[in-house]
Structure formats: structure tokens, C-alpha cells
A and B are shown apart, each in its own frame.
Chain A
């Protein structure tokens, strides 16, 4: 069971982690300042397994991986948003931060709700309201990368050509 932390549309990478903290790539260090300007209580109160709920265009802005790394470092289980900014989406897949796309869940889950997520099936259940949601399926090659726990692990075992096979 996870608690939901809710964010607005167009949440940008500077709001996830301001550029001035990107002088380190240590996930735990980054996690100390994640969302520090828009939700300063997050880094103090988050418990491992909590879920981030975003709106449209989550993660827009910079190409920096510091943003998904900071979220992963905070031990959030996954992000559920209506849509993602392109680079952020790729970065999450590449570093192995699970992400789900689901417009209804993004609207139907509020801050503090208790949420169950099945990452394998994309099923999302809001225990607080009793509502069930289904996330959009991810393309095959994305699942291959996610299955390996990120692109780095994937490449240790596979040739990149196999992604498209």
C-alpha cells in the first residue's frame, strides 16, 4: 500500500530538483532536495513505496536525469501521470524508474490517497475512493528495457539491435 503525492500539470525538472542541486549524481543526496521548492515536506515525510501522481506533461524542461534519479532516490515506487515530457519519459525508462500513463488515475487520485499499483499489469486501485484504473500499455521494446531494470543492464546482456527484434 502506498500513499499518493499529487503534483500539477507541466511540472518541470527544476521543480523536481532545482538546477543548483545538480552538482551531485548521488540518488540519496539528490533525494534530500527533491520537490524542495514546491512540496518541501515531501523529502521528510515520504515513505518507501509511495506513489507520485502528476498531470499533463510531467517532467518538462531540462534533459537532466537528475530529476528521475532524485525521485527514484526518494524511494517512490513509481510515477503515474496523464502524460510525460518526452525526454523525462525516456530517462525514466533508461534509469529504471517505473512510470505509468493514465489520465483517469491522474485525475482520480488526490494527495494522501492510498493506492495499490500493479506495475506488471498497469492496474491502479485507489483504496481511499474504491476506484480502479487501467494505465496505457507500454511498447514492447520499452518493456524489454524496463524488464532488465534499465538500459544499462539491458546492454550488459544484449546487443542494441535486439531491442527492435
Chain B
């Protein structure tokens, strides 16, 4: 009996557990990427013990891949040599780690997954526990198969209603971040539910656990349901049966009820992710770069929305518009269905997959005094390059509208097709 996190941890611990307990649990997968694996390898060597179970280790090259400089190249080399030396079976370089984790079926309901990346919370979209840790703990899990956790208290966010055309899950989550503030979920499990969440397809659900990191949450969870199952069965190689863990007579620390039906497009403004405004308040602000990418909003359906809005048009001549699909699989599907051609014809630069410009290493770095509008999840000062640049976060539709005009623009003004059904919007 308990909240979703208590239920997930109870199943794993083999006994009922409650918030406040400290557990040492077996982990199902241990994820790390090119930014964090080198430190884990160093800690692994220092510990001096063998790997516990190679099957559970998943490594990615995505943060600065292909290597934009010599130091990144040395990191990649170090990781590849490690993969070879330890004969590790799960090594990926086909996109942003979290998207690849979902696509490759590592993430299943009830799984306990740790990642050396703060957005490992993303896995909560499938009803799995996902949490970010540092590299040293990743090395500890490599050799022990275990990790300690304090069972967190839960904040439930109950979402009612349906969004209006032109308003997306991203707008809803940015709104929540603004309401809760960036420490509003610290040490907590944040459970997202209610009729709105239940109505959402998987690509929209992912935004909520993904950005639960932005309110400091330990994890962000959505209980698995039929939509989760159908995603697993049709989009991933994961083999069932899957256990649909749900909260049972949960006791929440706090319940936040939000009706999304009147919400308008939202923007998280420079310099803090909880500096949230209705788009109308910042409309017209000049934008030098529009960046559509990352583990938050560069899925096929996101590209479809953007392509539908840019089809047959040209982006603003002085605004750079960069599109980085989240994974190769997404890229290929977008290519096959003609989206990439539409985007390129409109003047977008489509890059290879991965984290791209998100961490300011390559693929669209900003100069001092520039302002970007992006589909990313965080807007820390200096995140995309110069500390004197400004970053604004919004939905893919807002990014597309802004790409056309070169200034922050409400996508509803350019509403031509029914956005409420983004699937098929490109047809």
C-alpha cells in the first residue's frame, strides 16, 4: 500500500516499504554517457573490483558526439577502449541517451534505473523509477549491482481538462515549474496523474518526468497503463509481461490540482527555469537562434508539428533555426516521411542526433548578447555557450512560430491545421 514510488520500491525490496526508509536495492540498468562515463571509469579502477553484471550496464555517446574537439575525442576513445576491455554488450551512439533508453526497451514499468545524468527522471514516463546520480555511484553500481535510496515523500500533481489547440504538454509542464519553483520538488517523488495525463500519448507524457528534474525532484512518475503497454509493444523490443504498478491507498505529502483547459502557451524566461511567463508577455522579443532538439522535445511528433507549421514557408532570414532529432530512429522516420525535406526547404539546419547545442559544446553555440528560444528543459546562464546569451524555453509549436518571424510568437496566430491532433499534422 502506498504511493507509486512506495509501490515500485516495495516490489523491488520484496517487502512493503514507506517514505523515509533507507534501502539498498538491486538496480536493473545503470546508464551513463560520454560526459559522465570517464569519471566512472576512473572510480571503477580505484575501487579495483570486477563488474557485477555486464548486462545491466548501458553506455552512450551523445553529449558531444561526434567529437567537436580533441578532449571530447579522448573521452570517446577512453570509453570505447573500456567497452572493448570489459566486453560490454550495451553501447549506443544513436541519439540522446534517454530517448535511446526508451526506444531500446530498457525502460519498463517497475524497473529501477539509475543514470549518471540528471534527466534520468525521464524513465518515470513508463512507470519506472529513474534517477540521476554522479559518476562515482555509477561505478559503485557497476561493481555491486546496488544503490542506496531514501524512499521519498510524494507530491501528487493531479491534472484535469484538455489543453486548447496550440497548447501542449510542454506548456503545461513549464507552467508547473513556474508554480512550484526550482526547489519545489526537492528530495520528492512527483507523481503526475489525472484525466489529462491519462489522455496523453507517450511522447507528450515524457515531458513531465523529464522536467521534474527542473523542480528538483528525485523522480517524476506516471503510472503505467494501456498507452504505456501499447508503446512498449509497438515501439520497443521490450519483452513482457509487464506489471502495471499503481498507487494503492496512497498518502501524499501534498496534492496540487491543476486544470489545464484555460492554459495559454508558456515560456520559461532567462535566466531561471522557474521564471515563467505567459507567452503574450514576452511576445515580440527578438530571437537569434531557434533550437529544436533534446530529450525533452525532439521526438518524431515534435518534428511533425514543426514541419506542419513550416511547410512551404521560409524561416526568418536572420534567425538561425537548428533541428537536432533526438535519435537516429526518429531522424530516419522523419526522413522517410518527408519531414526533413520540409524543414530544410524552410531553411532549417538539420544536424546529426544527440544532445547537440543543449550543453553548449557544439551544434549551435550562442554568442554574447544573443537570445535563443529552444525546446530544451533548462536555461541556466551559459548553458548554450556565452554566459552573456539568454535562453527561453517553449514548446515545439512556439519554436516553429518563432522561427518564421524571428521574434517570440504565439503559435496560435499561425494556426492553420488542427493542432489538437498533432499526429498526421504533416499530411
Contact = CB atoms under 8 A, between A and B. Distances in A.
Contact of A37 (B35, B143, B216, B381): B381
A80 B133 CA distance: 21
B39 interface: yes
A25 B136 contact: no
Contact of A64 (B36, B146, B380): B36
A145 B254 CA distance: 32
A86 B216 contact: yes
B140 A155 contact: yes
A94 B274 CA distance: 29
A65 B136 contact: yes
Contacts of B137: 90-91, 94, 151
B69 interface: yes
Contact of A19 (B132, B133, B359): B359
Contacts of B183: 9-10, 56-57, 60, 83, 85
B47 A156 contact: yes
Chain B interface SS verdict (over half)? mixed
Interface stretch (A112-120, A122-130, A157-165): A157-165
B422 interface: no
A164 B24 contact: yes
B345 interface: no
Interface in B14-72: 22, 24, 35-36, 38-39, 42-43, 46-49, 69, 71-72
A65 B361 contact: no
A152 B380 contact: no
Q: Which of the four size classes fits the interface of chain B?
A: 35 or more
Contacts of B361: 19-20
Interface string B350-371: 0000000001110000000000
Contact of A23 (B69, B120, B135): B69
Contacts of A161: 24
A139 B22 contact: yes
Given A14-B380, A15-B380, A155-B49, A91 B134 contact: yes
B186 A57 contact: yes
A155 B139 CA distance: 11
Contacts of A60: 182-183, 216
Nearest to B188: A86
Interface in B122-151: 132-137, 139-140, 143-144, 146, 148
A84 B146 CA distance: 23
A110 B183 CA distance: 23
Contacts of A83: 183, 186
B382 A150 contact: no
A19 B382 CA distance: 8
Given A20-B360, A22-B35, 15 more contacts: A14-B383, A19-B383, A57-B183, A60-B183, A60-B216, A65-B39, A83-B186, A86-B186, A91-B134, A91-B137, A94-B137, A95-B136, A155-B144, A156-B47, A163-B148
13 contacts: A10-B183, A14-B381, A25-B42, A57-B182, A63-B116, A63-B120, A63-B132, A65-B134, A94-B136, A152-B136, A155-B143, A160-B24, A160-B140
